[in-house]
Amino acid sequence: MTTIAGLHSRLVRVPLTRPWGADVTSIGVIATRVVRSDGAEGWGFSWTPQIGAEAVQALLQHDIAATAVGRPAAPGQAWQGMWEHLHEAGGGGLTTIALAGLDLALWDAAARAAGGSLTDLIGRRRCAVRAYGSGVNLHYPLEDLVAQAQRWVAAGFDAVKVKVGKPDVAEDLERLRAVREVIGPDRALMIDANQRWDLDRATRALDALAAVTPAWIEEPLRADDLAGHTELARRLAASSGVPIAVGENLHTGYRFAEYLRAGAAQIVQPNIVRVGGITPFLRIADLAAGHGAALHPHLLPELSGQLALCLPTAPGAAEPLVEDVEDAGFGALGALEGPSPVAIAGGRATEVAHDGLGLRLR
């Protein structure tokens, strides 16, 4: 049996071209390298915007590297045991973000050892996927938001996403009307509240914002408020019918299963790193398909785009969408040693020839 012989990590701070806010000016990427007992190597990463990168690296160095040695190197086989080992420090969050650094590197090593890419290893189901223009733009002045929407249209996106959650919903509506005027009636307009509302405020806000026909409302409430999302879904089904999307701040398959069973979300958006890597992400994809829910990966288009090519789709559910946040991809930020393994053009994400994950950090 091929086993894990070693795991190495280093922290890279990648400045953002356009800050996501006054306190989010960079992203922390912990580059990882795994060595297998057969000599094969693989490269992965953990990731977190601004907060917690040093803690993630400490977990990798002190609590994951030594424990991983001797465990099976085949993708997915070591994941559950490692998660159980880390569980005392938390079932999700920093622990799963750190565990992703090992998991991604193991998938990369396996694909490279097999002489192909990640999609070759998993199994490609489609040659291209739709991508949507996205931005961390709640703090943008209206003219900057409109200019961003114009860039999305020029880039060929047929779907875009805008942040909401201003103190006065009338301002949100004004901003969304301006974006809708730019993108026209046929492009999908998604909105993201980033957990800013409570149940009653979300109900009132979505009654007003229904005027711009949102394709979904993302994270309307605290991510851990299962009961609130369940009730909001009931209210929306009886009014505007806007579907709820959650997932970027759910960290385990158990939480995704709870939301899906409760009917609290119709769309799930797992972040591949935050849930612990490719292994749990694929399990969550199966869960979503089994519940008839759409799955659209959160951020990280260079990795999300590859997995979106391989994902199952529930009968009647939309195919996966890849999120392209303006000026935030590893390739756009100059963080990669080589070209990005995923190209986004004309609103479509396609794969560029590469080995493994194709994601070596500078």
Q: What is the pLDDT of residues 153-172, one digit of tens each?
A: 999 999 999 999 999 999 99
CA angle in degrees (0–180, nearest 5) for 36-38-39:
70
Share the mean pLDDT of the chain: 96
Strand stretches in the chain, DSSP E: 4-15, 26-36, 41-49, 128-134, 159-163, 188-192, 217-218, 244-246, 267-268, 294-295, 321-325, 342-345, 348-351
pLDDT score at 256: 98
Q: Can you tell me which residue has the tokens 């917690």?
A: 52
Both tokens assigned to 289: 């398909």
Q: Which residues pair with 189 in a beta bridge?
A: 160
Instruction: Provide CATH 3.30.390.10 ranges for the chain.
Output: 4-113
Q: Could you give the residue numbers annotated as active site?
A: 163, 298
* Topology adopted by domain 4-113: Enolase-like; domain 1 (3.30.390)
pLDDT score at 243: 98
Cα-based distances in Å from 173 to 61, 90, 198, 207, 299:
47, 39, 18, 11, 25
**Mean pLDDT, the chain cut into blocks of 10 residues (362 residues total):** 97 87 85 98 93 95 97 97 95 97 98 98 96 96 98 98 98 98 98 98 98 98 98 97 97 97 97 98 96 95 97 84 92 90 97 96 88
Q: Which residues of 13-49 are buried (b: 16+ CB within 10 A; e: fewer)?
A: ebebeeebeeeeebbbbbbbbbbbeeebbbbbbbbbb
The model carries a pTM of: 0.96
pLDDT score at 303: 97
pLDDT score at 19: 81
pLDDT tens readout for residues 34-59: 999 999 999 999 999 878 999 999 99
Instruction: Provide CATH 3.20.20.120 ranges for the chain.
Output: 119-351
d(CA 59, CA 54): 9
pLDDT score at 134: 97
pLDDT score at 97: 98
Q: Can you tell me which residue has the tokens 């938390």?
A: 90
pLDDT score at 230: 98
* Topology adopted by domain 119-351: TIM Barrel (3.20.20)
Residues in the chain: 362
